[in-house]
Structure 1
Amino acid sequence: MPAFLPPWRTLAAGAFWITGTVIGVNDYLLEITPIVGNSMQPTLSPQYYTTGARDTVAWHKWRPAGPDLRRGDLVMYTTPHRGEGSAVKRVIALGGDTVVLDKRRRPGRDEDGEPKPSERTVAKNWDAMAPKVVVPYGHVWLEGDNWRASKDSNHFGPVSRSLIVGRAMGVMWPPQRWGRPWEREAGFAGKTKVVKGREAVPVEWEELVLGV
Protein backbone atom coordinates (compact mmCIF):
# COMPACT_ATOMS: atom_id res chain seq x y z
CA MET A 1 0.00 0.00 0.00
CA PRO A 2 1.54 3.41 -0.98
CA ALA A 3 2.62 5.71 1.84
CA PHE A 4 0.92 8.69 0.23
CA LEU A 5 -1.91 9.41 -2.17
CA PRO A 6 -1.23 10.07 -5.85
CA PRO A 7 -1.09 13.83 -6.67
CA TRP A 8 -4.50 13.86 -8.37
CA ARG A 9 -6.15 12.28 -5.32
CA THR A 10 -4.45 14.74 -3.02
CA LEU A 11 -5.73 17.63 -5.13
CA ALA A 12 -9.24 16.15 -5.24
CA ALA A 13 -9.31 15.67 -1.47
CA GLY A 14 -8.04 19.21 -0.91
CA ALA A 15 -10.65 20.66 -3.28
CA PHE A 16 -13.39 18.69 -1.51
CA TRP A 17 -12.45 20.01 1.93
CA ILE A 18 -11.93 23.58 0.73
CA THR A 19 -15.31 23.57 -1.04
CA GLY A 20 -17.05 22.12 2.02
CA THR A 21 -15.44 24.69 4.30
CA VAL A 22 -16.41 27.60 2.04
CA ILE A 23 -20.01 26.39 1.81
CA GLY A 24 -20.20 25.89 5.57
CA VAL A 25 -18.83 29.37 6.29
CA ASN A 26 -21.17 30.93 3.73
CA ASP A 27 -24.25 29.15 5.12
CA TYR A 28 -23.64 29.46 8.86
CA LEU A 29 -21.00 32.08 9.65
CA LEU A 30 -20.27 34.78 7.09
CA GLU A 31 -21.53 35.83 3.68
CA ILE A 32 -20.47 38.73 1.47
CA THR A 33 -22.97 40.03 -1.09
CA PRO A 34 -23.38 43.04 -3.40
CA ILE A 35 -26.45 45.22 -2.88
CA VAL A 36 -28.49 45.69 -6.03
CA GLY A 37 -31.67 47.69 -6.53
CA ASN A 38 -32.79 50.91 -4.89
CA SER A 39 -34.99 49.89 -1.95
CA MET A 40 -32.23 50.74 0.57
CA GLN A 41 -31.12 54.02 -0.99
CA PRO A 42 -29.57 56.33 0.06
CA THR A 43 -28.12 54.08 2.79
CA LEU A 44 -26.77 51.33 0.51
CA SER A 45 -25.69 51.47 -3.15
CA PRO A 46 -26.86 55.10 -3.51
CA GLN A 47 -25.47 55.38 -7.06
CA TYR A 48 -26.71 52.01 -8.32
CA TYR A 49 -29.11 53.39 -10.94
CA THR A 50 -26.87 56.29 -12.03
CA THR A 51 -23.38 54.78 -12.24
CA GLY A 52 -24.02 51.11 -11.45
CA ALA A 53 -21.85 51.32 -8.32
CA ARG A 54 -22.75 48.73 -5.69
CA ASP A 55 -21.94 48.39 -2.01
CA THR A 56 -20.65 44.98 -0.97
CA VAL A 57 -21.81 44.06 2.53
CA ALA A 58 -20.58 41.41 4.96
CA TRP A 59 -23.27 39.53 6.91
CA HIS A 60 -22.84 37.45 10.02
CA LYS A 61 -25.09 34.40 9.92
CA TRP A 62 -24.66 32.84 13.35
CA ARG A 63 -27.95 33.46 15.17
CA PRO A 64 -28.67 36.68 13.25
CA ALA A 65 -32.12 37.02 14.83
CA GLY A 66 -30.87 36.43 18.38
CA PRO A 67 -31.89 38.40 21.46
CA ASP A 68 -29.38 41.17 20.66
CA LEU A 69 -31.25 42.13 17.45
CA ARG A 70 -31.96 45.86 17.62
CA ARG A 71 -34.21 48.40 15.95
CA GLY A 72 -32.19 49.99 13.17
CA ASP A 73 -30.21 46.85 12.31
CA LEU A 74 -30.05 45.80 8.68
CA VAL A 75 -30.95 42.19 7.97
CA MET A 76 -31.05 39.80 5.05
CA TYR A 77 -34.14 37.61 5.10
CA THR A 78 -36.07 35.08 3.06
CA THR A 79 -38.99 36.95 1.55
CA PRO A 80 -42.43 35.60 2.56
CA HIS A 81 -43.86 36.14 -0.93
CA ARG A 82 -40.90 34.48 -2.70
CA GLY A 83 -39.69 31.43 -0.78
CA GLU A 84 -36.50 31.12 -2.82
CA GLY A 85 -35.73 34.84 -2.79
CA SER A 86 -34.01 37.08 -0.27
CA ALA A 87 -33.97 40.81 0.40
CA VAL A 88 -32.29 43.40 2.60
CA LYS A 89 -34.28 45.68 4.88
CA ARG A 90 -34.05 47.64 8.13
CA VAL A 91 -35.54 46.40 11.40
CA ILE A 92 -38.04 49.11 12.33
CA ALA A 93 -39.86 47.40 15.20
CA LEU A 94 -39.57 44.30 17.38
CA GLY A 95 -42.21 42.05 18.91
CA GLY A 96 -44.49 43.99 21.25
CA ASP A 97 -43.86 47.34 19.52
CA THR A 98 -46.65 49.33 17.89
CA VAL A 99 -46.03 50.58 14.36
CA VAL A 100 -47.88 53.71 13.27
CA LEU A 101 -48.30 53.12 9.54
CA ASP A 102 -46.87 55.75 7.22
CA LYS A 103 -49.43 56.66 4.54
CA ARG A 104 -46.63 57.28 2.03
CA ARG A 105 -45.76 53.58 2.24
CA ARG A 106 -49.26 52.35 1.42
CA PRO A 107 -48.94 49.82 -1.44
CA GLY A 108 -50.84 50.33 -4.66
CA ARG A 109 -48.90 53.12 -6.38
CA ASP A 110 -45.59 53.20 -8.22
CA GLU A 111 -42.71 55.66 -7.74
CA ASP A 112 -44.53 58.26 -9.88
CA GLY A 113 -47.70 57.99 -7.81
CA GLU A 114 -49.59 56.11 -10.52
CA PRO A 115 -52.02 53.31 -9.52
CA LYS A 116 -50.72 49.73 -9.70
CA PRO A 117 -53.67 47.40 -10.40
CA SER A 118 -51.54 44.38 -9.42
CA GLU A 119 -51.38 45.63 -5.83
CA ARG A 120 -55.07 46.23 -5.14
CA THR A 121 -55.32 43.25 -2.78
CA VAL A 122 -52.16 44.25 -0.94
CA ALA A 123 -53.46 47.80 -0.58
CA LYS A 124 -56.72 46.50 0.94
CA ASN A 125 -54.73 44.44 3.42
CA TRP A 126 -52.73 47.55 4.37
CA ASP A 127 -55.97 49.47 4.90
CA ALA A 128 -57.20 46.66 7.16
CA MET A 129 -54.04 46.99 9.31
CA ALA A 130 -54.14 50.79 9.50
CA PRO A 131 -53.62 52.96 11.39
CA LYS A 132 -51.51 50.90 13.82
CA VAL A 133 -50.02 47.43 13.95
CA VAL A 134 -48.80 45.62 17.07
CA VAL A 135 -45.89 43.38 16.07
CA PRO A 136 -46.57 39.87 17.41
CA TYR A 137 -44.20 37.77 19.47
CA GLY A 138 -41.31 36.32 17.47
CA HIS A 139 -41.71 38.80 14.61
CA VAL A 140 -40.19 42.06 13.39
CA TRP A 141 -41.38 44.90 11.19
CA LEU A 142 -39.05 45.47 8.21
CA GLU A 143 -38.87 48.42 5.83
CA GLY A 144 -36.58 49.70 3.10
CA ASP A 145 -35.09 53.16 3.61
CA ASN A 146 -36.40 54.22 0.20
CA TRP A 147 -40.14 54.32 0.82
CA ARG A 148 -40.82 54.95 -2.87
CA ALA A 149 -39.36 51.63 -4.00
CA SER A 150 -39.57 49.05 -1.26
CA LYS A 151 -41.66 45.93 -0.87
CA ASP A 152 -41.57 45.22 2.83
CA SER A 153 -43.80 44.73 5.87
CA ASN A 154 -46.21 47.29 4.46
CA HIS A 155 -46.91 44.70 1.76
CA PHE A 156 -46.87 41.45 3.75
CA GLY A 157 -47.04 42.42 7.42
CA PRO A 158 -44.70 41.45 10.27
CA VAL A 159 -41.93 39.01 9.38
CA SER A 160 -41.02 35.97 11.48
CA ARG A 161 -37.55 36.13 13.01
CA SER A 162 -37.02 32.62 11.66
CA LEU A 163 -36.83 34.10 8.14
CA ILE A 164 -33.83 36.29 9.01
CA VAL A 165 -30.68 34.68 7.62
CA GLY A 166 -28.06 37.39 8.15
CA ARG A 167 -27.32 40.62 9.98
CA ALA A 168 -25.17 43.33 8.40
CA MET A 169 -21.67 43.77 9.79
CA GLY A 170 -20.43 46.51 7.48
CA VAL A 171 -19.77 47.68 3.95
CA MET A 172 -16.56 46.01 2.74
CA TRP A 173 -16.30 47.60 -0.72
CA PRO A 174 -15.71 50.15 -2.16
CA PRO A 175 -13.08 51.42 0.33
CA GLN A 176 -14.56 54.92 0.54
CA ARG A 177 -17.87 53.40 1.67
CA TRP A 178 -16.32 51.20 4.36
CA GLY A 179 -18.22 51.10 7.65
CA ARG A 180 -21.83 51.03 8.79
CA PRO A 181 -23.68 53.79 6.90
CA TRP A 182 -27.05 52.59 8.19
CA GLU A 183 -26.15 53.88 11.66
CA ARG A 184 -25.90 57.45 10.41
CA GLU A 185 -28.86 59.76 10.85
CA ALA A 186 -29.42 60.04 7.08
CA GLY A 187 -30.37 56.38 6.96
CA PHE A 188 -33.39 57.05 9.12
CA ALA A 189 -34.86 59.80 6.93
CA GLY A 190 -38.62 59.35 6.88
CA LYS A 191 -38.51 56.52 9.39
CA THR A 192 -41.87 55.12 10.40
CA LYS A 193 -42.99 56.07 13.90
CA VAL A 194 -42.77 53.26 16.45
CA VAL A 195 -44.10 53.09 20.00
CA LYS A 196 -41.76 50.77 21.85
CA GLY A 197 -43.35 47.91 23.74
CA ARG A 198 -42.35 44.79 25.61
CA GLU A 199 -42.23 41.44 23.84
CA ALA A 200 -44.05 38.86 25.91
CA VAL A 201 -44.74 35.20 25.21
CA PRO A 202 -48.48 34.76 24.50
CA VAL A 203 -50.26 32.92 27.29
CA GLU A 204 -51.35 30.15 24.95
CA TRP A 205 -47.69 29.62 23.93
CA GLU A 206 -46.15 29.53 27.41
CA GLU A 207 -46.11 25.76 27.70
CA LEU A 208 -44.57 25.38 24.25
CA VAL A 209 -42.01 28.19 24.52
CA LEU A 210 -41.17 28.26 28.21
CA GLY A 211 -41.98 24.70 29.11
CA VAL A 212 -44.31 25.68 31.96
Structure 2
Amino acid sequence: MLRRALGKTLGFIGYTIQYGCIAHCAFEYIGEFVACSGPSMEPTIINNDVVFSERISRHLCRIEKGDIVIAKSPFDPKMNICKRVIGLEGDKICTSRPLDTFKTHTFVPRGHVWLEGDNLQNSTDSRSYGPIPYALIRGRVCLKLWPPHSFGPLNESPNGERITRND
Protein backbone atom coordinates (compact mmCIF):
# COMPACT_ATOMS: atom_id res chain seq x y z
CA MET A 1 0.00 0.00 0.00
CA LEU A 2 2.83 2.40 0.85
CA ARG A 3 4.60 1.41 -2.35
CA ARG A 4 1.44 2.13 -4.39
CA ALA A 5 0.92 5.55 -2.74
CA LEU A 6 4.59 6.42 -3.30
CA GLY A 7 4.32 5.34 -6.94
CA LYS A 8 1.23 7.53 -7.51
CA THR A 9 2.89 10.49 -5.78
CA LEU A 10 6.05 10.17 -7.86
CA GLY A 11 3.96 9.77 -11.02
CA PHE A 12 2.04 12.95 -10.18
CA ILE A 13 5.29 14.84 -9.51
CA GLY A 14 6.71 13.57 -12.82
CA TYR A 15 3.66 14.77 -14.79
CA THR A 16 3.71 18.10 -12.98
CA ILE A 17 7.36 18.65 -13.91
CA GLN A 18 6.73 17.64 -17.54
CA TYR A 19 3.74 19.96 -17.95
CA GLY A 20 5.59 22.74 -16.15
CA CYS A 21 8.48 22.41 -18.62
CA ILE A 22 6.09 22.43 -21.58
CA ALA A 23 4.31 25.54 -20.25
CA HIS A 24 7.64 27.29 -19.60
CA CYS A 25 8.87 26.57 -23.13
CA ALA A 26 5.55 27.69 -24.64
CA PHE A 27 5.60 31.01 -22.76
CA GLU A 28 9.33 31.57 -23.34
CA TYR A 29 9.57 30.69 -27.02
CA ILE A 30 6.06 30.87 -28.52
CA GLY A 31 4.21 33.68 -26.76
CA GLU A 32 2.38 34.97 -23.74
CA PHE A 33 -0.76 36.82 -22.70
CA VAL A 34 -0.11 40.37 -21.47
CA ALA A 35 -2.47 42.72 -19.63
CA CYS A 36 -1.48 46.24 -20.67
CA SER A 37 -1.83 49.17 -18.31
CA GLY A 38 -1.42 52.90 -18.77
CA PRO A 39 -2.40 55.40 -21.45
CA SER A 40 0.75 55.44 -23.59
CA MET A 41 -0.61 53.23 -26.41
CA GLU A 42 -4.08 54.80 -26.67
CA PRO A 43 -6.11 54.59 -28.87
CA THR A 44 -4.59 51.32 -30.16
CA ILE A 45 -4.35 49.60 -26.78
CA ILE A 46 -6.44 50.93 -23.90
CA ASN A 47 -5.72 50.47 -20.19
CA ASN A 48 -6.47 46.86 -19.09
CA ASP A 49 -6.62 45.44 -22.64
CA VAL A 50 -5.24 41.90 -22.89
CA VAL A 51 -3.02 41.12 -25.88
CA PHE A 52 -1.08 38.12 -27.15
CA SER A 53 2.63 38.73 -27.62
CA GLU A 54 4.37 36.21 -29.87
CA ARG A 55 8.08 35.60 -29.35
CA ILE A 56 9.02 33.84 -32.57
CA SER A 57 9.66 37.13 -34.44
CA ARG A 58 12.17 38.21 -31.81
CA HIS A 59 14.15 34.99 -32.20
CA LEU A 60 14.09 35.21 -36.00
CA CYS A 61 15.01 38.93 -36.09
CA ARG A 62 11.72 39.87 -37.76
CA ILE A 63 10.77 42.93 -35.71
CA GLU A 64 9.96 45.78 -38.12
CA LYS A 65 8.89 49.42 -38.09
CA GLY A 66 5.26 49.74 -37.07
CA ASP A 67 5.27 46.61 -34.89
CA ILE A 68 4.00 46.92 -31.34
CA VAL A 69 6.37 45.17 -28.95
CA ILE A 70 6.59 44.18 -25.32
CA ALA A 71 10.03 45.03 -23.92
CA LYS A 72 11.78 45.18 -20.58
CA SER A 73 11.83 48.73 -19.25
CA PRO A 74 15.28 50.34 -19.46
CA PHE A 75 14.54 51.94 -16.06
CA ASP A 76 13.17 48.91 -14.19
CA PRO A 77 13.99 45.38 -15.41
CA LYS A 78 11.07 43.98 -13.39
CA MET A 79 8.61 46.02 -15.46
CA ASN A 80 7.54 45.52 -19.08
CA ILE A 81 6.61 48.29 -21.51
CA CYS A 82 4.36 48.18 -24.57
CA LYS A 83 5.42 50.53 -27.40
CA ARG A 84 5.50 50.83 -31.19
CA VAL A 85 8.77 50.40 -33.13
CA ILE A 86 9.46 53.70 -34.90
CA GLY A 87 13.05 53.10 -35.96
CA LEU A 88 15.51 50.26 -36.45
CA GLU A 89 19.30 50.29 -36.33
CA GLY A 90 20.76 52.82 -38.74
CA ASP A 91 17.54 54.86 -39.04
CA LYS A 92 17.57 58.62 -38.54
CA ILE A 93 14.81 59.66 -36.13
CA CYS A 94 13.47 63.22 -36.11
CA THR A 95 11.75 63.82 -32.79
CA SER A 96 11.35 66.18 -29.89
CA ARG A 97 10.43 65.82 -26.25
CA PRO A 98 7.14 67.38 -25.18
CA LEU A 99 8.81 70.55 -23.82
CA ASP A 100 11.44 70.94 -26.57
CA THR A 101 11.08 73.86 -28.99
CA PHE A 102 13.22 72.33 -31.73
CA LYS A 103 13.22 68.86 -33.22
CA THR A 104 16.38 66.81 -32.87
CA HIS A 105 17.82 64.10 -35.09
CA THR A 106 19.02 60.85 -33.61
CA PHE A 107 20.58 57.86 -35.34
CA VAL A 108 19.52 54.50 -33.97
CA PRO A 109 22.74 52.60 -33.15
CA ARG A 110 23.46 49.06 -34.19
CA GLY A 111 21.55 46.47 -32.14
CA HIS A 112 18.97 49.01 -30.92
CA VAL A 113 15.42 50.12 -31.75
CA TRP A 114 13.53 53.38 -31.21
CA LEU A 115 10.20 52.93 -29.40
CA GLU A 116 7.34 55.41 -28.96
CA GLY A 117 3.84 55.17 -27.57
CA ASP A 118 0.93 55.99 -29.86
CA ASN A 119 -0.25 58.61 -27.33
CA LEU A 120 2.76 60.93 -27.70
CA GLN A 121 1.48 63.44 -25.15
CA ASN A 122 1.31 60.79 -22.42
CA SER A 123 4.10 58.32 -23.10
CA THR A 124 7.51 57.75 -21.57
CA ASP A 125 9.48 56.20 -24.41
CA SER A 126 12.70 56.50 -26.44
CA ARG A 127 12.22 60.27 -26.53
CA SER A 128 13.03 60.13 -22.78
CA TYR A 129 15.46 57.22 -22.48
CA GLY A 130 16.86 56.93 -26.01
CA PRO A 131 17.10 53.83 -28.19
CA ILE A 132 16.82 50.51 -26.38
CA PRO A 133 18.87 47.37 -27.04
CA TYR A 134 17.15 44.79 -29.22
CA ALA A 135 17.79 42.24 -26.46
CA LEU A 136 15.22 43.97 -24.22
CA ILE A 137 12.40 43.10 -26.63
CA ARG A 138 10.34 40.20 -25.25
CA GLY A 139 7.88 39.78 -28.12
CA ARG A 140 5.68 41.33 -30.82
CA VAL A 141 2.03 42.05 -30.05
CA CYS A 142 -0.05 40.46 -32.78
CA LEU A 143 -3.54 40.01 -31.35
CA LYS A 144 -5.88 41.89 -29.03
CA LEU A 145 -7.88 39.40 -26.94
CA TRP A 146 -9.81 41.58 -24.48
CA PRO A 147 -12.25 43.28 -24.49
CA PRO A 148 -14.23 40.98 -26.79
CA HIS A 149 -15.61 43.77 -29.01
CA SER A 150 -12.06 44.71 -30.08
CA PHE A 151 -10.78 41.14 -30.54
CA GLY A 152 -8.53 40.78 -33.57
CA PRO A 153 -5.12 41.43 -35.10
CA LEU A 154 -3.30 44.69 -34.45
CA ASN A 155 -2.42 45.75 -37.98
CA GLU A 156 -3.43 49.39 -38.07
CA SER A 157 -1.57 52.50 -37.03
CA PRO A 158 -3.27 55.06 -34.76
CA ASN A 159 -4.38 57.16 -37.73
CA GLY A 160 -6.17 54.15 -39.27
CA GLU A 161 -3.67 53.40 -42.04
CA ARG A 162 -2.78 49.78 -42.68
CA ILE A 163 0.73 48.88 -41.69
CA THR A 164 2.51 47.17 -44.56
CA ARG A 165 5.22 44.65 -43.89
CA ASN A 166 8.04 44.02 -46.32
CA ASP A 167 8.47 40.25 -46.10
TM-score normalised by length of structure 2: 0.82
Count of equivalent residues = 158
Aligned to 2:98: 104
- 1:147 is aligned to 2:148: no
How many Å apart are 1:162 and its aligned residue? 1.2
- Contact kept, 8 Å, 1:99 with 1:133, in 2: the verdict is yes
Q: How does 1:168-179 map to 2 (within 5 A)?
A: 168-179=141-152
Aligned to 1:122: none
How many Å apart are 1:10 and its aligned residue? 1.7
Where 2:22 maps in the other structure, the secondary structure is helix
After superposition, the Cα gap between the structure-2 partners of 1:65 and 1:156, relative to the gap in structure 1 and judged at 3 Å, is farther
- 1:132 is aligned to 2:126: no
Name the CA distance, whole Å, in 2 between partners of 1:177 and 1:25. 25
Aligned to 1:81: 75
TM-score normalised by length of structure 1: 0.66
- 1:32 is aligned to 2:5: no
Where 1:183 maps in the other structure, the secondary structure is coil
Between the aligned residues of both structures, percent identity stands at 30
- Contact kept, 8 Å, 1:73 with 1:90, in 2: the verdict is yes
For CA contacts below 8 A with separation 6 or more, give which structure has more relative contact order.
1
Can you give the 5+ residue segments of structure 1 that lack an aligned partner in the other structure?
49-53, 107-126, 189-212
Q: Which one has the bigger strand percentage?
A: 2
Q: Of the two, which has the highest radius of gyration? A: 1
Can you give the 5+ residue segments of structure 2 that lack an aligned partner in the other structure?
162-167
- Structure 1 residue ranges, 4+ long, deviating more than 6 angstroms after superposition: none
Counterpart among 103, 111, 129 of residue 156 in structure 1: 129
How many Å apart are 1:9 and its aligned residue? 2.0
- Contact kept, 8 Å, 1:75 with 1:88, in 2: the verdict is yes
Aligned-residue Cα RMSD (Å) equals: 2.5
Deviates more, 1:36-45 or 1:6-15: 6-15
Where 1:166 maps in the other structure, the secondary structure is strand
